[in-house]
Amino acid sequence: MMDPRRLRLLRELARQGTMQAVGEVTGYTTSGVSHQLAVLEREAGVKLIEPDGRGVRLTPAGRRLVEHAEVILGALAAAEADLVTTDEPTGQVRITGFTSSITFLLVPLIEELYRKRTRVEVSIFEGEPREAVAQLRDDEVEMALVYDYTLNPRFKEQTNSLLIGVEPVHVALPIELADKHGLNRPTITAADLTPFASENWITSSRSSDDDELLSRLGGIAGFAPRIRHRVDSTQVIARMVADGFGLSLMPRIARPQRTTGVCYPEIIDPALQRRIFALTRPGTINWPPLELVRSRLQVRCRALGLA
Going by pLDDT thresholds of 50, 70 and 90, the confidence category of residue 129 is very high
The CA-atom distances, in angstroms, between 115 and each of 109, 118, 215, 298 are: 10, 8, 44, 18
The pLDDT of residue 21: 83
Is 111's pLDDT higher than 70?
Answer: yes
Query: Count of CB atoms within 10 A of residue 31's CB?
Result: 10
Q: Cβ contacts of residue 250 below 8 Å, gap of 6+?
A: 169, 170, 171, 172, 234, 237, 264
Going by pLDDT thresholds of 50, 70 and 90, the confidence category of residue 205 is confident
Domains for the chain: give ranges and CATH numbers: 4-82 (1.10.10.10), 88-165+275-303 (3.40.190.10), 167-272 (3.40.190.10)
The pLDDT of residue 83: 61
100 closest CA partner among 302, 229, 251: 251
Q: Cβ contacts of residue 90 below 8 Å, gap of 6+?
A: 84, 119, 120, 288, 289
Name the CA radius of gyration of the chain, rounded: 24
The whole-chain average pLDDT of the chain stands at: 89
Q: Cα–Cα distance between 151 and 219 in angstroms, integer?
A: 11
> Which is higher by pLDDT, 10 or 79?
10
The pLDDT of residue 278: 96
> Which is higher by pLDDT, 181 or 35?
181
In percent, the amount of the chain with pLDDT more than 90 equals 57
Using one digit for the tens of pLDDT, what is the confidence trace for 31-89?
Answer: 888 888 888 888 888 888 888 888 888 899 888 888 887 777 777 766 666 665 556 78
Q: Cα–Cα distance between 125 and 132 in angstroms, integer?
A: 9
218 closest CA partner among 176, 241, 248: 248
In single-letter form, the type of residue at position 89 comes to: P
Using one digit for the tens of pLDDT, what is the confidence trace for 231-249?
Answer: 989 999 999 999 999 999 9
- C-alpha angle with apex 70: 68 to 76, nearest 5 degrees? 105
